Amino acid sequence: MQHWHFITGVGIFFTMAVNAAQVGLITIEGAIGPATASYVSRAIDHASARHDECLILQLNTPGGLLASADDIKQSFYASRVPVVVFVSPTGAAAASAGTFITLAADIAAMAPHTRIGAAHPVGPTGEGDTNSVLWSKAENDTAADIKNIAEKRGRNAEWAVSAVRRSDSITSEEALRLNVIDLIAENLPDLLRQLDGREVGGKTLHTAQAGIAEIPRIASEKVFQRLWRPEVMMLLMLVAIYGIIGELSSPGAILPGVVGSIALLLVLYMAAILPVNLAGLALLGLAVALFAVDVFAPTHGILTAGGAVSFFLGLLMLFNRAGPGFGLSLQWILPATLLTALFFVFVVGKGVRAQFRPVQSGAETMIGQTVPALSRIDMQGGWVFIEGEQWNAVSAMPVQAGQPVEIIGREGLALKVKPKTD
């Protein structure tokens, strides 16, 4: 009887141990960037610390920065917990940088009717720059990288290279047949069932009854995920331009200059992270110069039109070296171009013209006017009547009452005059 109780206790303990198993889960949607790489690295460390059976990365991406995908790959290689990439839900994609991430996982899985591929790199001066030597080097290096990844994980290296060189893209069903991925799962429960009993790096997975513990993004990761975007950098560039130019055209406002300077520093920081095209930056600088010259030396709008064209092309080229999901659409470029042209024409133009406009009010407006003397005027004083007021006046040459005098200056509350001669 005691023997039976012992066996029962062991069975209960074993069942509890199995039920206590859990897997980590993170979800990656949208473009791959620096914030994504940081999130994946932290999630791997977190899953390792709590001894999860594995970490599942549910992926749906049009691509992104290959540099960030490389950081994620290195995190996979260094991970002490098995990493499973699951391209899901149905209709999702692991395109471009997502292809590298999927192939680099310990186990690659996809939901039915998803796709993977189209990992062709973007040339230094834009998509399809096939004649560029730099582009050829980038293509060869990228192809070698994805081949190494596929061979390390025992997957179809030939197809992986074709995904880079020919932008090949295949469905999940084709990927399984071609040994690009390891399995197809309907959903997460089905994935856990199929993972159960698989051996990864000498560890046998027990996931059939495992719980799923999601690892959410922390506040800083959420913020940087939204900030590290071309659209945000473009808006910061506009704030920097408007603020600094606005301050220069209307000195003393202070706030526009402070805001513009802060925005400029943020732009410089983001330019070191995002792949910015120098030709695009040069065109934007040329546009600002053309706008400014047209304000100081009006050319009937010719330079402003040239500046608008240069600004449009600059924004169009600014991020064309980035991967899919990291470009600027016309929905952002056209309004930004129009707004900037209007800013220089109306705001900056009026501010500059106001600085060079003659004084319209105050005592300074009286200088140069001719009025009759109300009384004798000499160095001891006298009186003139101007703009509805009677002013004390002094003159180095005596002036008789009724004689016209010209106002030549002002000293305190007295006007300096001289006799007006023909």
On whether both 116 and 141 belong to a single domain, the answer is yes
Tell whether 103 and 154 lie within a shared domain.
yes
Asked if the structure places residue 83 within a domain, the reply is yes
Q: Look up residue 345 and give its DSSP letter.
A: I
Give one DSSP letter per residue of 88-150, joined into a string.
-STT-EEETHHHHHHHHSSEEEE-TT-EEE--PPPBTTBTT-TT-HHHHHHHHHHHHHHHHHH
| Token reading at 416 | 């300096």
Residues 254 and 320 in one domain: yes
Q: Do 286 and 280 meet the contact criterion of CB atoms below 8 Å apart?
A: no
How far from the centroid of its chain's Cα atoms is residue 265's Cα? 13
The residue among 191, 219, 247 that closes a domain is 219
CB-count exposure of residue 35 (10 Å: 0-12, 13-18, 19+): buried
* Residue among 343, 143, 102 at smallest CA distance from 243: 343
Q: Provide the CATH number for the domain around residue 370.
A: 2.40.50.140
Query: Within this chain, do residues 130 and 272 fall inside the same structural domain, yes or no?
Result: no
Residue 42 tokens, joined: 């932290």
CB 84 within 8 A of CB 107: yes
Residue (of 149, 37, 141, 34) closest to 99 by Cα position: 149
pTM tops 0.75:
no
Do 74 and 52 fall into the same domain?
yes
Identify whether residues 167 and 237 lie together within a single domain.
no
Domain boundary among 334, 356, 378: 356
pLDDT tens over the chain, length 422 residues: 444 444 444 443 444 344 468 999 999 998 888 889 999 999 999 999 999 999 999 999 988 888 899 999 999 999 999 999 999 999 999 999 999 999 999 999 999 999 999 888 765 444 444 455 666 777 888 999 999 999 999 999 999 999 999 989 999 999 999 999 999 999 999 999 999 999 998 899 999 999 999 999 988 888 877 777 788 888 989 898 888 887 776 666 678 888 888 988 888 877 776 777 888 888 888 888 888 787 777 666 788 888 889 989 888 888 766 556 667 888 888 999 999 888 887 777 665 555 555 555 555 677 778 888 888 888 888 888 887 778 888 888 888 888 888 888 888 778 888 888 76
Distance CA 369, CA 121 (A): 73
CB 66 within 8 A of CB 100: yes
Domain of 90 in residue numbering reads as 2-219
What integer pLDDT is reported at residue 323 of this predicted model?
58
Residue at a domain's end among 219, 246, 275: 219
Q: Taking Cα atoms as reference points, which of 264, 216, 199 lies closest to residue 54?
A: 199
CATH number at residue 176: 3.90.226.10
In a shared domain, residues 163 and 70: yes
Whether residue 124 is found in the same domain as residue 244:
no
Element spanning 29, H or E = strand 22-29
